[in-house]
Structure 1
């Protein structure tokens, strides 16, 4: 395994170095270095509130140390359920209790019995390797962005109708910009930890990475991947002391307000609601529809499931139907629509209530071990990889963890965590 990793990273480092030494990238980084210097020494930057702004928030230990603990997934799932206009069925309530208990055991109870023997044997990664992998992922993503745009003959943000002509084989690699951003941001965090760059420089580079993500993902008309990029940058910055607690809290409030406002005014424009309608109605109706889907999947899945892994397997490229199209077929026999099944939708459809317990236990344990490793080591890579998987777990509350690239991220994280468990415990 180490030989394969060494060979791959040697190739990737060579590719990264070649691009960095090219005239185009030398010019780009020279311009960015100039802008960064102006940013760091800007007078207007001094007008921005410092990290002690709203300092009373730092007195709350939960917010200060446990804000992105794995249990945030259950908290957000509960809020999502509360938003729904109609209550869940009795059977679904039982399924939810099973899932919540399993996740709690996996994330908050079991990790206490592992990784208690020090951190000397924990697997460590070189910053150069992590940066080069992230850089190459972004190059692949940008290349496929142009291929996707060329394949439909336009930019989906400008011509929304052509978004539905985008080919998944071309768009899926574009989403590699998310882990690419994660790994590059982690490498910048390492530079900050080592004192090679200042906090202001790290903040500028994080902001620039977000601007790149905004440019490419928004032009394709995708919002969820963009939200993933925001969350990853915020979580890495928060645990790396680059982003302040008050910025996370204020940013979350602004984000929620923006989601409510955009949904409300879009619905007004489409005449789906009237001006007298509760602004929260768009969120409530979306949550209600998704919960209705989950009710149907729970009824179909029963105790031991009905699709027995087919729904999860449909994430593999080349499948006749994608996982969310398969959900549409299961509940309405409509294969031309995609339907989000929530975090436990796939679990209950594939393996029933038993599957919900097992999969939520595994998910909770993966996040719990990742959180403990991150807090124990303060290592730039473990902060980054935890940020990646907790981000997709949070987004998965509504959408589910069903995309093949996201499943790959979790698989890689699980493998690394298992190696650490074996090295530390034995």
Structure 2
């Protein structure tokens, strides 16, 4: 395994070095370093509120220590259910109780029996390797952004109707900017931890990474990937002492506002609502529709499911229908539409109520172990990988964890965590 890692790291490092030595990237980084120096020492930077702004938040120990505990997934799920205009069925209520119980046990109880010693023997990853990988992923995503835009002949944000012409084979690589951002931000955190850059420099670089993500993902008209980039930067910054607690709270409000705003204006552009419609209505109707879908899937799945893993397996490229298209076929007999089934939709269709209990327990355990490793080591890489999988778990509350690249992120995280558990503690 070490030989494979070394070979891949060598190739990625060489590619990254060659691009960064080019005139274009040398010029870009020189300009960015100049802007960073000017901003960090500028008068305007001094006007920004201090870390103790809204100090009453810092006195709340639960927020300071457990704001991004895995249980935040259940909190978001509960809020999502409350947003819906209609109530859940009795059968779905039982399924949800099993889901919440399984996740709670997996995230808070089971991790107590693992990794209780010194974790100095767990795998460590070279910062240069992680930066090079993040840089290459970001580069690939930018290239495919321009390919996607060219393939539909316009910018989807400005012409919402053409967003549905985007081809997944081109857009999926664009979303690699999210793990790319995660890895690069993690390496900046490592530089801050080692004293190579100041907190102000790290904050500026985090903001720049977020700006790059916004520029490309927003123009494609996608809300969920944009929110993913936003969440990852906040979580890494929060646990790396780069982002203050009050900034997380304000950032969450801004993120929610962005979701509502983009959905509202996109609906206006598609003529599905009028300007007199309540902006929250688009969010409520989306939650209500998704809950209606979940009610139907719960009825179809029953206690033991009907597809027995085939729905999850359909995420693999080359399948006739994707997971969300299969959901559309199951509840409406329409394969030309994609329907989000919530976090437990796939679980209940594949394996029923029993599957929901077991799979939510496994998901909770993965996040619980990741949280424990991150808290005990404060290692930049483990902060980054936990931020990545927690982000997609939160977003999966509505969309489900069904995209092949997201499943790959979880597979990598599980593999690394299993190695950590297998390593004898001192």
TM-score by shorter chain over 0.5: yes
Q: Deviations over 1:22-78 (max 9, x none)?
A: 111111111111011111011011011010101110111111010000000001101
Q: Name the CA distance, whole Å, in 1 between partners of 2:407 and 2:66.
A: 25
Q: Determine helix, strand or coil for the equivalent of 2:303.
A: coil
Counterpart position of 2:144: 144
1:16 aligns with 2:16: yes
Q: Flag structure 2 segments of 5+ consecutive residues without an equivalent.
A: none
Counterpart position of 1:78: 78
Q: Deviations over 1:299-331 (max 9, x none)?
A: 000011011111111111111111111111100
Q: Name the CA distance, whole Å, in 2 between partners of 1:279 and 1:139.
A: 36
User: Would the alpha carbon gap of residues 37 and 393 (structure 1) be closer, same or farther in structure 2, given more than 3 Å must change?
Assistant: same
Counterpart position of 1:272: 273
1:260 Cα deviation after fit: 3.9
1:308 aligns with 2:305: no
TM-score by length of 2: 0.96
1:360 Cα deviation after fit: 0.4
Q: Determine helix, strand or coil for the equivalent of 1:192.
A: helix
8 A Cα contact 2:223 2:262, kept in partner: no
1:123 aligns with 2:123: yes
8 A Cα contact 1:367 1:389, kept in partner: yes
Counterpart position of 1:417: 417
1:336 aligns with 2:336: yes
Q: Determine helix, strand or coil for the equivalent of 1:424.
A: coil
TM-score by length of 1: 0.96
RMSD: 1.6
Trace 1:117-196 onto structure 2 (pairs within 5 A). Answer: 117-196=117-196
Query: Relative to structure 2, which stretch is displaced further, 358-367 or 216-225?
Result: 216-225
Q: Name the CA distance, whole Å, in 1 between partners of 2:399 and 2:359.
A: 16
8 A Cα contact 1:114 1:425, kept in partner: no
1:166 Cα deviation after fit: 1.6
Trace 1:4-403 onto structure 2 (pairs within 5 A). Answer: 4-260=4-260, 263=263, 270=271, 272=273, 275=276, 280-403=280-403
Q: Flag structure 1 segments of 5+ consecutive residues without an equivalent.
A: none
User: Would the alpha carbon gap of residues 64 and 126 (structure 1) be closer, same or farther in structure 2, given more than 3 Å must change?
Assistant: same
Query: Relative to structure 2, which stretch is displaced further, 124-133 or 13-22?
Result: 13-22
User: Would the alpha carbon gap of residues 358 and 425 (structure 1) be closer, same or farther in structure 2, given more than 3 Å must change?
Assistant: farther
Q: Deviations over 1:113-166 (max 9, x none)?
A: 111011121111110011011011111111111222222233222332222222
Q: Determine helix, strand or coil for the equivalent of 2:149.
A: helix
Q: Determine helix, strand or coil for the equivalent of 2:178.
A: helix
User: Would the alpha carbon gap of residues 369 and 94 (structure 1) be closer, same or farther in structure 2, given more than 3 Å must change?
Assistant: same
